[in-house]
Structure 1
Amino acid sequence: MTRSTSDAEIVVGYDGSPDAAAALDWALEQARRDGRPIRLAYVFEWLTVAGWVGPGVTPGMWPDEQARQQVEELVNKAAADAAAANPELTVRGEVRDGPPALVLEESSAEAGLLVLGGRGHGGFTGLLAGSTAVSVTAHAHCPVVVVRRDTAEAARAGHITAGVDGSEPSLVALGFAVEQAALRRVPLQVVRAWQPGREHWNLTGEQARDAALAEGRAELDEALRRWQERFPDVEISVQTATAAPAALLIDSSRQAQLVVVGTRGRGGLRGMLLGSVSQQLIQHAHCPVAVVRER
């Protein structure tokens, strides 16, 4: 049975790379806020090509039991160091075998949150350039946060930004964003981008824009009303604009500590994870990015 995300552990995809270290730091700070345990998961993928070098493994060594022992020592040390620096938290490490994307997706079924570095090495090589990030964020059973090393500092300041388009996945993401804003005691900025569509074909450009923005704002007001009643102390602002979704969200991320989006949307956010928007966010946002998928 899948546990509630309120008490399920935070899983960190860890391979010893600088971005993985940034992801671990982010996860530790999150755990200090909500008290959840942390599990470092190293996915050990056995490869048989010449010249294979695993993270934390002596160059030139073939993947054998000694290589696996080095990996286990790497993960256990990282977990022990994190636990020693945060005695109030429970931190453990594990090494699992298999394709990284598949193993992480499986791990997410029992997790409350999955945190990944932007780029890794070994089992996470090319995390953002290839299909692994798309697969994990699209199919994980819990929210996924991607932390690039160059955005780690931004995670400690600013507001929370949520990209919303009125679709059910985006409203699930909105709920996650509100909860994070309340937990961190920071404002929430809700962003809704609009681009011309067929639904207003009979109107002029300016009329279509005004009609779409008005409809979008009405949808948002209804959704936000429920969350505002539940979290009255969260300051919420709304930004609606006729702009490309990725550009609008990336711009908002300059002053944010976290950008939150759903897995799939409609209108301006259609194909969030199957097209270029999510990739642009994960690679170019100025802060960590959370992708939330309905369980």
Structure 2
Amino acid sequence: MIVVGVDGMRPGVLAAEWAAREAVLRGLPLNVVNVVPAWCLLGDLTGAIAGVGAWMRNGGEAALAEAAAAARRAAEKAAVETSLLGGDPRHELIELSKEADLLVVGDSGMGSLRGLLIGSVALGVAGHAYCDVVVVRGSATTSQAEVVVGVDGSDAQAGVLDFAFREAAARDAALRAVLAWNWRDVLGAGTLGDEPEDGRRALAEAMAGRRELFPDVRVSMEVVEGHPVDVLRQAAAQAELLVVGSRGHGALAGMVLGSVSQALLHVAPCPLAVVRTRR
């Protein structure tokens, strides 16, 4: 199942539309979820608080109806259901992610504070979800059928590449694998090689064997000098999807997200898939 969190704001509706199309591509049902404070769902509310609770429940139901209708318009074949839950949005979505194949959220709303580049819920679930997460940014539309995947030369990138290849194959899209070389991480320690050839070798090793598994996917590979956040943001300017791992170079001990994936949550120009990886 694919789970998408919505809150009645435009980013949530766009996330529901994207999730519906993805659900059809994967042949999975879609659960559209809205979360209200737990006390709103109590059955023994009285007085003024009962009116507030009813108002919040009605708002949640309206958000679900709007997002579900948008999802069905975006993908007529999608099997869409809705769920109104009580609690903290981040906690509830993370709990649902234990049984989900994919968790989708918009890039703002559901607890976001005015002035933040990305909603606190999107940031929280991307870092703690048990499944892969897609944060839908912008209009989620593009004129170019292409998936971009960031390759970092780490041992944890296999799942990231598998995810990217599957997405490209399902969308009949080209896949562009991009590796940024000769950049210093946020600690100022270490580089990924000193010459472009080091990057090309690491990229070729990472891609070895996968092109044979997905012979219909058109693959290109690029090694670009620069910081991976800047390199990947530019590479994905016209892409359908940008795929990165949840960890990567520059991740501090104890950080839930690597520095690259965390930064891209704020600046990615298209929907961003954060694939679960281990250190």
Considering the TM-score relative to the shorter chain, is it more than 0.5? yes
What is the rounded CA distance, in whole Å, between the counterparts of 1:22 and 1:290 in structure 2?
15
Change beyond 3 A, Cα 1:64–1:260 = same
Aligned to 2:144: 157
- 2:26 aligned to 34, 45, 53, which one? 34
8 A Cα contact 2:108 2:119, kept in partner: no
- 1:109-132 deviation digits (Å, cap 9, x = unpaired): 111111111111xx3324854653
Aligned to 1:184: 171
The one-letter code of the counterpart of 1:146 is V
Question: Deviation at 1:177?
Answer: 0.5
Gap runs ≥5 in structure 1: 1-8, 49-59, 201-207
Change beyond 3 A, Cα 1:73–1:242 = closer
- 1:137 aligned to 122, 126, 130, which one? 126
- 2:89 aligned to 81, 100, 114, which one? 100
Question: Deviation at 1:140?
Answer: 1.1
What is the rounded CA distance, in whole Å, between the counterparts of 2:31 and 2:177 in structure 1?
31
Change beyond 3 A, Cα 1:282–1:40 = same
- 2:16 aligned to 15, 18, 24, which one? 24
What is the rounded CA distance, in whole Å, between the counterparts of 2:242 and 2:10 in structure 1?
21
TM-score normalised over the length of structure 1: 0.78
Question: Deviation at 1:281?
Answer: 1.8
Question: Deviation at 1:243?
Answer: 0.3
Aligned to 2:155: 168
Question: Deviation at 1:42?
Answer: 0.6
Question: Deviation at 1:41?
Answer: 0.8
The one-letter code of the counterpart of 1:292 is V
Question: Deviation at 1:161?
Answer: 0.6
Change beyond 3 A, Cα 1:191–1:283 = same
TM-score normalised over the length of structure 2: 0.82
Aligned to 2:194: 209
What is the rounded CA distance, in whole Å, between the counterparts of 2:134 and 2:39 in structure 1?
27
The root-mean-square deviation of aligned C-alpha atoms, in Å, is 3.0
The one-letter code of the counterpart of 1:288 is P
Which is further off, 16-25 or 280-289? Answer: 280-289
Change beyond 3 A, Cα 1:38–1:230 = same
Aligned to 1:72: 61
Query: Tell me, what secondary structure is at the counterpart of 1:138?
Result: helix
Question: Deviation at 1:275?
Answer: 6.2
What is the rounded CA distance, in whole Å, between the counterparts of 2:97 and 2:214 in structure 1?
27
Query: Tell me, what secondary structure is at the counterpart of 1:255?
Result: coil
Gap runs ≥5 in structure 2: 41-48
Change beyond 3 A, Cα 1:287–1:80 = closer
What is the rounded CA distance, in whole Å, between the counterparts of 1:276 and 1:151 in structure 2?
25
Change beyond 3 A, Cα 1:130–1:185 = closer
Aligned to 2:214: 231
What is the rounded CA distance, in whole Å, between the counterparts of 2:74 and 2:234 in structure 1?
35
